[in-house]
Amino acid sequence: MSEHGYVLPPTRAGRFVISDVAVVDVAGGAAIPGQDVTIDHGVIASVRPHGEPVATHHVKVDGHGRWLAPAYVDGHAHVLNSPSGVEASHALMLASGIWGWRQLSGDNQLLDARRAGRLPSYPGSPALLAMPGQVLTPLNAGDEAQTRETVRSQAARGADFIKVAMTNRETCLAAIDEAATLGLPVVGHLPDDLDPREASAAGLRCVEHLGPGNGVFSAVSRRGDEARRHGRPRSLPPFAGRFEPLVQKVITRVVVNPQMATSADDAVAMRIADDGYDPALAAELAQVYREHETWQCPTLIRLHTMEFADAHEHTRDAGVRYVDPAEVRRWRLMTRRFRRLPDATRRAFDRRWHVQVDFLRALADADVAMFAGTDANGAGWVIPGLALHDEFALLAHAGLSALQILRMATAAPARFLGIEDAHGQVREGFAADLVLLGGDPTRDVAALSDLHGVVRGGGWWDKDDLDAILERVAAEPTAR
């Protein structure tokens, strides 16, 4: 690798013009052809019809025949815990047109490092847009009192939100209640014993992975009560509290594919819920989400790689060349064990996938607020950066329009994060984080992945630069 790392300094920065380009109006849902977009030190200085006089000293990037859209947000990733290293992930994200991400797991060290300005950053690094403290599990949220204490201490440490991962109805509701008094949102995985309608009404801000457990799918099933009776709450191993480093190792292994922990009983509970899937109940739940502004970050790529871990599209994904070989070995080991799961369990996953896709379409039809994410870094076969483009394709497969998907990657996460006044649109005064595309992303989802250049933080990397970044990561994907 060059002494500069994976990403060389941008070939254009400061003041330059992207000329004669079609500007994508994300809010309006159309592209306006023939525009000159002036970038000035990280900010969009002007958007004007092509040909109006522009200061001659401005370097030009020819945008003719291209579309200029806001760069993307990966709304769900674990970059800072990446087993493959943060620098490689950042490079892959830049090369994939991603300007920022929401980090879904933090800890005291990361919160302190951010406050001290000591988080790793490289040329073109995507921005860390929000980060929680340690995710809530029985380790730090064993009962209501401990949960409230944990929420208070994470808030004091500077967490932007609270992430629940393994809670129950009591501790999840306590977290939401305590966090509300501190002005912090709570997001995460719904406990199986908490009805999503109750969680939504209580103020849960965002559901990750559409649930991901059986709670949501019991709530949209005519056989929900029966499914719940078969369910068994997930828990940590009993030794968990005493051996933190060991627990971290276990978690790293489990994160590769949490579905590996599906028991025969769990599979039965899934089948019961999914056999009773009722579109009318799904539409009702969607209305509840809308009413209480409960967001969704579906991460279909994560769900698909968990439920079809041995599919060739994953195991033969050419993108694994960008991933640390030690990490890929963990994925292959998981996949060998995945193949040995009982047929009934595999069938339950297959059925669950189809229900998840139907449910997602029901949410989209009801205009439930959603943004795109991947769960990259640690998740089996989910390749940082590139996975967001897999996500676009899967969202399209689920029936969402190109425009819906474009919004889920740009304006919607900006709104969710409260930064919509300066991000997520190509407008004067907005941040110059942009992608130059070979097609119209309001009409064709494939255009979102047809990258011809990226502006990140006001610097310009063209397609050759982006390809070179990918090659440098492939040459040395191991954490440094």
Q: Which residues pair with 128 in a beta bridge?
A: 101
| 69 burial type by CB count under 10 A (0-12 exposed, 13-18 middle, 19+ buried) | buried
In this complex, which beta carbon is closest to Zn ion, that of residue 212 or of residue 276?
Answer: 212
CB of 375 to Zn ion, least distance (A): 4
In this complex, which beta carbon is closest to Zn ion, that of residue 44 or of residue 162?
Answer: 162
375 sits near Zn ion (criterion: CB under 5 A): yes
| Both structure tokens of 450 | 């047809």
β-pairing, 15-25 vs 67-70, is parallel
Q: Based on C-alpha coordinates, what's the Rg of the chain?
A: 22
104 sits near Zn ion (criterion: CB under 5 A): yes
In this complex, which beta carbon is closest to Zn ion, that of residue 192 or of residue 375?
Answer: 375
User: Binding mask 406-425 vs Zn ion (x if CB under 5 A, - otherwise)?
Assistant: --------------------
| Both structure tokens of 478 | 């191991």
CB of 106 to Zn ion, least distance (A): 12
* Plot region of 180 (φ>0 → left; ψ -120 to 50 → alpha; else → beta): alpha
CB of 231 to Zn ion, least distance (A): 22
Q: What are the respective helix, strand and coil percentages of the chain, to the nearest 5?
A: 45, 20, 40
In this complex, which beta carbon is closest to Zn ion, that of residue 391 or of residue 440?
Answer: 391
What does the DSSP 8-state code read for residue 141?
A: -
CB of 104 to Zn ion, least distance (A): 4
CB of 392 to Zn ion, least distance (A): 18
Residue span binding Zn ion (CB under 5 A) among the ranges 53-61, 116-124, 370-378, 411-419: 370-378
Number of shown-chain residues binding Zn ion (CB under 5 A): 2
324 sits near Zn ion (criterion: CB under 5 A): no
CB of 189 to Zn ion, least distance (A): 9
Interactions with Zn ion, residue window 329-358 (CB under 5 A): none
Give the residue among 316, 351, 350, 348 at the shortest CA–CA distance from 335.
316
Residue span binding Zn ion (CB under 5 A) among the ranges 19-27, 60-68, 97-105, 273-281: 97-105
E-strand spans in 286-433?
A: 295-297
195 sits near Zn ion (criterion: CB under 5 A): no
Interactions with Zn ion, residue window 159-188 (CB under 5 A): none
CB of 254 to Zn ion, least distance (A): 12
In this complex, which beta carbon is closest to Zn ion, that of residue 307 or of residue 375?
Answer: 375
Would you say 426 and 386 are in contact if contact means Cβ atoms under 8 Å apart?
Answer: no
d(CA 226, CA 212): 19
Contact residues for Zn ion (CB under 5 A)?
Answer: 104, 375
